[in-house]
Amino acid sequence: MSFAELFGREPHGRWAAPGRVNLIGEHVDYARGLCLPFAIAQRTVVEVATRDDSRVRLASLAEPGGFDGTLDDIGSGSPAGWAGYAAGVLWALRADGHAVGGVDLLVTDTVPLGAGLSSSAALECSTAVAVDELFGLGLDRRVLAAACQRAENDIVGAATGGMDQAASLLAKAGHALLLDTRDGATRQVPFAPADAGLGLLVIDTRVRHRLADGRYGARRASVEKAAAALRLPSLREATLDQVDTLDGELRPRARHVVTEIVRVRETVKLLADGRIDEIGPLLDASHTSLAGDFEVSCAELDLAVSTARGAGALGARLTGGGFGGSAIALVPLAAVDAVASAVRAAFAREDLRSPEIRTAEPSAGAARESLHGPGTAERVDRLQDEIAALPVVDPRSPDGMLGYDEHGLPGPAGRSR
């Protein structure tokens, strides 16, 4: 079914936004922490045409359901299902006072669903760049990322942080995005495993999770409770000594957040220094902390991680929200096939569904895919320039790695929101 068959006219353009893999910095984006995601090659693609009225029609070739209503029908929990992610973006931009009208929108392709690769953020972000361009809003990508996050928080009802949306909108190929969620500052960190003879395997356990279910929200609530108990604005400001004073489960939960932020800093230092092959132990430690202190792993993720390590991975960890979804493993290129086979064999031995295993390449953020229609090539160029202008951590620059700045990031920080 094509856009024309569905809506009786041609779309005004096609936009695509990638999913993400988080290299490290897990469950810290709602604690004002640091995370280090990168965009993957898999994309969600939307075809969109504006309307003269306030009607909103949403359909998908990838999933059943959709929406046919008006802008005023969009609100908390409405529409339900996948359509809430796209409609929520329209709602959030309107709530900010932007002149957004009705649209017809067809999702033609999607990041693998439920694999922990952020298909939901990819849908939000592809919708956001389309709407931004079609209605001539001219918004900074950080503003779009914030609108996408509110779509997810307020319309879908998932209390997620902003990491996934920032990665999908601000990522640059060959780099990971260092994001300081305290103020939105970003830095592009060179990350090209293949250049170092390494592959980054993404092992989808095919255990499906939903962030809107209670477990993600419960972790977030514990993190906020721990900060309140310490009388701090967030756990970003906490020390391990302070964490040790916490009671019950708040102590391990907070310990994960505080130690994970340190691991992000150490990973960035190694990457900026060209020592990518030394980050394995940090990935391993992140998984141990997520499984033990934060309790967001599951048997399948643990099996994928331990098997990958045993078969030659330099390091491995769950990525994303956990409770299923995907694990990542950093593997010498020569061992990629052996590691993938070992993981498949281990799953078969346990009578588990065969995992989906891919190699991830750090890829570019959201962009228009076709240039026909009312958008202009200049505007596309400007958006690409915006991303290209984000500061890169460059170990060769004289001030590139001299200590930490006020964000706790190495070198000069990116422009803040």
**What residue ranges bind ligand GAF (CB under 6 A)?**
22, 26-27, 29-30, 118, 160-161, 163-164, 211, 320-321
Q: Is 244 a catalytic residue?
A: no
Question: Of 315 and 321, which CB lies nearer to ligand GAF in the complex structure?
Answer: 321
Question: In sequence order, what are the beta bridge partners of 190?
Answer: 175
- CA dist 375 → 18, 48, 143, 229, 357 (Å): 21, 12, 20, 50, 37
Question: Of 133 and 164, which CB lies nearer to ligand GAF in the complex structure?
Answer: 164
Question: Of 160 and 205, which CB lies nearer to ligand GAF in the complex structure?
Answer: 160
The residue annotated as part of the active site, out of 104, 109, 132, 164, is: 164
DSSP strand E in 8-82: where? Answer: 13-22, 34-35, 37-50, 55-60, 67-70
Question: Of 118 and 188, which CB lies nearer to ligand GAF in the complex structure?
Answer: 118
CA distance 346 to 361: 25
Q: Which amino acid is at 101?
A: G
CB of 398 to ligand GAF, least distance (A): 34
CB of 235 to ligand GAF, least distance (A): 13
Q: Do the Cβ atoms of 171 and 365 come closer than 8 Å? A: yes
Q: Do the Cβ atoms of 377 and 371 come closer than 8 Å? A: yes
CB of 233 to ligand GAF, least distance (A): 18
Closest CA to 93 of 131, 136, 51, 58: 131
CB of 57 to ligand GAF, least distance (A): 27
Question: Of 29 and 180, which CB lies nearer to ligand GAF in the complex structure?
Answer: 29
Which residues, in sequence order, are CB contacts of 99 under 8 Å at separation 6+?
135, 137
Judged on CB neighbours under 10 Å (0-12, 13-18, 19+), 240 is exposed
CB of 375 to ligand GAF, least distance (A): 29
- Distance from the Cα of residue 123 to its chain's centroid: 12
CB of 30 to ligand GAF, least distance (A): 6
CB of 215 to ligand GAF, least distance (A): 11
Question: Of 22 and 188, which CB lies nearer to ligand GAF in the complex structure?
Answer: 22
Q: Output the CA torsion 193→357→38→264 (10° steps).
A: -80
CA distance 295 to 401: 34
CA distance 261 to 263: 5
Question: Of 59 and 254, which CB lies nearer to ligand GAF in the complex structure?
Answer: 254
CA distance 376 to 365: 19
Residue with tokens 């802008």: 71
Judged on CB neighbours under 10 Å (0-12, 13-18, 19+), 237 is middle
Half-sphere exposure of 37 (CA within 13 A, CB side): 36
Q: Do the Cβ atoms of 41 and 361 come closer than 8 Å? A: yes
Q: Do the Cβ atoms of 416 and 185 come closer than 8 Å? A: yes
CB of 160 to ligand GAF, least distance (A): 3
Question: Of 106 and 211, which CB lies nearer to ligand GAF in the complex structure?
Answer: 211
Closest CA to 260 of 28, 13, 10, 415: 28
Which residues are designated catalytic? 164
